[in-house]
């Protein structure tokens, strides 16, 4: 699992994973898109994290001491390199939007671990969120409103039905169980990435119950928030879009609409 709840969510989903033979990474090293949400736009950038060792060393120079220490604690070199590249690219992307050097970026973290820019950059009112899965990272940026993004490599999980029963809402689980067997992995990760993106936009982490809201999940159905409690999704202050990231990848982005928050 990715994002601010990476460790907790990974523990939920277990490690009994069967690889899908035709999963492919993004073809280009970096792609970008601007999406229209109600009342504004959201910018999404996706990159590949695997790169040459010399580039990894160069990227490490722009990290903070705390980030380099965190990188040193990864047990596997591949994971260490991916963390360095992912965090450095975030710094470069933020720096280009703020007109500063990448090593000048300062982060703060919410109570549930959601990253944000320090008060030094408050005037820019730039919000962002990050997600990664295997060798792909996705960054989402918005102006003046909260945002969340999630990406996953689609794969078969031996305990997917148990995870759905434990963490999907009753409506979502009913829809999921009604899918044809071949559609269930896509339905599962549709639901999981859409719920993660919403939770990350809220910034509440594990304190916000995953069964309190419903999202669409059937293959081919548009990404939507259907219900939040007893409030219909369209009446809430949040909008959702699916991300087209390439074969074998599933993603979603959620952003706050302009106006009064109603749920």
136, part of any domain: yes
103, part of any domain: yes
Between CA 153 and CA 136 the distance in angstroms is: 9
Between CA 105 and CA 89 the distance in angstroms is: 12
The whole-number pLDDT of residue 207 equals 73
**Which one, of 182, 86, 161, lies nearest residue 129 by Cα?**
86
The whole-number pLDDT of residue 7 equals 33
The domain containing residue 64 runs over which residues?
Answer: 3-256
120's tokens:
């030094």
46, part of any domain: yes
Task: Annotate 46-61 with DSSP letters as a single string.
Answer: EEE----HHHHHHHHT
- Let me know: does 20 contact 154? Beta carbons within 8 Å: yes
Q: What is the pTM of this model?
A: 0.87
260's tokens:
């009064």
pLDDT by position in tens, the chain (length 263): 343 334 333 333 332 333 332 333 333 467 888 888 767 889 999 999 999 999 999 999 999 999 999 999 999 999 999 999 999 999 999 999 999 999 999 999 988 889 999 999 999 999 999 999 999 999 999 999 999 999 999 999 999 999 999 999 999 999 999 999 999 999 999 999 999 999 999 997 767 888 899 999 999 999 999 999 999 999 999 999 999 888 899 999 999 987 455 56
- Let me know: does 18 contact 156? Beta carbons within 8 Å: yes
261, part of any domain: no
- Structural domains counted in the chain: 1
The whole-number pLDDT of residue 206 equals 64
Length of the chain: 263
- Let me know: does 232 contact 245? Beta carbons within 8 Å: no
The whole-number pLDDT of residue 261 equals 58
The whole-number pLDDT of residue 2 equals 41
- Let me know: does 40 contact 145? Beta carbons within 8 Å: yes
262, part of any domain: no
- Does residue 256 sit in helix, strand or coil? strand
The whole-number pLDDT of residue 32 equals 82
263, part of any domain: no
The whole-number pLDDT of residue 167 equals 94
135, part of any domain: yes
β-strand partners of 31:
46
Q: What is the CATH number of the domain that holds 99?
A: 3.90.470.20
Residue 195 is inside which H or E element, if any? helix 184-202
- Let me know: does 150 contact 41? Beta carbons within 8 Å: no
The whole-number pLDDT of residue 39 equals 72
């Amino acid at each position: 699992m990715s994002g601010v709840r990476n460790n907790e969510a990974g523990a939920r989903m277990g490690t009994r994973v069967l690889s899908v033979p035709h999963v492919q990474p993004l073809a280009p090293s970096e792609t970008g898109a601007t999406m229209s949400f109600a009342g504004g736009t959201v910018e999404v950038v996706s990159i590949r994290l695997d790169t040459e060792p010399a580039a990894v060393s160069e990227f490490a120079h722009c990290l903070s001491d705390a980030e380099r220490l965190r990188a040193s604690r990864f047990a596997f070199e591949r994971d260490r390199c991916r963390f360095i590249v992912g965090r450095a690219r975030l710094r470069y992307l933020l720096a280009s939007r703020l007109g500063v050097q990448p090593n000048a970026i300062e982060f703060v973290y919410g109570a549930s671990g959601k990253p944000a820019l320090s008060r030094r950059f408050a005037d820019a009112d730039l919000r962002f969120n990050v997600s990664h899965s295997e060798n792909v990272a996705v960054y989402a940026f918005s102006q003046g409103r909260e945002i969340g993004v999630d990406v996953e490599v689609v794969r078969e999980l031996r305990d997917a039905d148990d995870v759905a029963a434990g963490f999907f809402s009753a409506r979502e689980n009913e829809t999921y169980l009604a899918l044809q067997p071949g559609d269930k992995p896509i339905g599962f990760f549709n639901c999981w990435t859409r719920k993660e993106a919403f939770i990350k936009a809220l910034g509440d982490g594990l304190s916000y119950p995953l069964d309190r809201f419903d999202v669409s999940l059937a293959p081919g159905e548009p990404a939507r928030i259907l219900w939040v409690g007893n409030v219909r999704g369209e009446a809430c202050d949040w909008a959702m879009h699916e991300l087209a990231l390439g074969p074998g990848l599933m993603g979603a982005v959620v952003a706050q609409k302009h106006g009064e928050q109603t749920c």
